[in-house]
Copies of this chain bind each other. A is one copy, B any other.
Amino acid sequence: MFTGLSAFPLTPMNETEIDERAFRGLIQRLAAAGVTSLGVLGSTGNYAYLTREERKRVVSLAVEEAGKVPVMVGIGALRTRQVLELAEDAQQAGAKALLLAPVSYQKLREEEVFQLYQSVNDAISVPLCLYDNPGTTQFTFSDELYGRLAGLSRLAAIKIPGVPDDAAQAKARIDRLRQLLPDKIAIGVSGDALAARGLNAGGELWFSVLGGLFPQVCQRIIRLSAAGQQLEAQNLSDRLAPLWALFAKYGSLRVVAALAARLGLTEAVNLPQPLASIDREDAGRLEAVLPLLE
């Protein structure tokens, strides 16, 4: 399942509950588009903002609507005991893989992160994807730690942060990781603005925020890159520059949430407070981007 497009949908919600109807709709859209896998309860799915019960419900809904598309589930939480509970819940609800970021309040130390992954590895029976997202976790994986974690039996993929925005440096980075990790561990790129760069440099799949709402444009970039049309893949990504600028300003979550509301796929309010939508003056910029996405 760790190839092609792994689409990360929103979990639309308000201050009272999850918008189940809208969430089902988002999953149906992605299944119909034939994404390779779903990454529910990723950062885009606001996993950190939901209760255990809500997270279990989200997994059940996703599995129900996903058809044959395998569902990967984010199980990150501050405490190891919560992570283990969430792993069990997700597996029982039909998750085909688990996604784990070292979520922190107190900045974590390298050995603590290793122990967390080892505890989870020993408790689960599905593949595990390492979620390296320093922007939200405050933790930066060293290459040495990657190497140690590569020995865990369930580790099947790594979701790396954005590669350097220079073709040669991006290739050097992916080559270095490929050297460090056994072949059975897939290297997946993220940071949508840098994904074409990362795929052209040898990344094996794309864990995508944009792909959670607009899978087709992402699938096109993946196909071009896989067919050796690297320049065309990069050009297609570059045409989305106004979108990447908004991602940089607001974080991708707020922008994709605004797009989903604009398209009527969710209610106008779909994020948990205190998270708010983008400013009114940027809504016009979104309109200009829409034709490129649909």
- With A48-B105, A78-B48, A103-B105 in contact, do A275 and B136 touch (Cβ < 8 Å)? no
Q: In the bound complex, what is the Cα–Cα distance between A37 and B109 (angstroms)?
A: 31
7 contacts between A and B (CB under 8 A): A43-B105, A43-B106, A49-B78, A79-B272, A79-B273, A102-B274, A107-B136
- In the complex, which of the residues B112, B136, B250, B253 contacts A276, with contact meaning CB atoms closer than 8 Å? B112
Nearest B residue to A133 via CB reads B105
A136 touches B80 (CB 8 A): no
CB neighbours (8 Å) of A106 from chain B are 43, 136, 251, 253-254, 275
- B43 with A276: CB separation less than 8 A: no
Q: How many copies does the complex hold?
A: 2
In contact, A81 and B251 (Cβ under 8 angstroms): no
Residues of chain A in range 134-150 having any CB-CB distance to chain B below 8 Å? 135-136, 138
Please give, as numbers and ranges, the residues of chain B lying within 8 Å of A48 by CB-CB distance.
78, 105
> What's the dominant secondary structure at chain A's contact region?
loop
Residue of B105, B112, B135, B250 touching A49 (CB-CB under 8 A)? B105
A185 at interface, CB cutoff 8 A? no
Given the interface pairs A106-B251, A107-B251, the reply to whether A15 lies near B274 with Cβ below 8 Å is: no
A273 contacts B105, C-beta separation under 8 Å: no
Besides A79-B272, A113-B274, 17 new A-B residue pairs in contact (Cβ under 8 A), listed by A number: A15-B80, A48-B105, A49-B79, A78-B272, A79-B273, A79-B274, A80-B272, A81-B272, A102-B274, A103-B105, A106-B136, A107-B136, A109-B276, A112-B275, A115-B274, A116-B274, A138-B138
Which residues of chain B come closer than 8 Å to A275, judged between CB atoms? Answer: 106, 108, 112
Does A111 have its Cβ within 8 Å of any Cβ on chain B? yes
- Complex interface: chain B residues within 8 A of A111 (CB): 276
Give residues in A with beta carbon < 8 Å to B. Answer: 15, 43, 48-49, 78-81, 102-103, 105-109, 111-113, 115-116, 119, 135-136, 138, 250-251, 253-254, 272-276
- CA separation between A253 and B79, bound complex, in Å? 16
**B273→A80 contact, CB < 8 A:** yes
Chain B contacts for A119, CB-based, 8 A: 273
Contacts of A15 in B (CB 8 A): 80-81
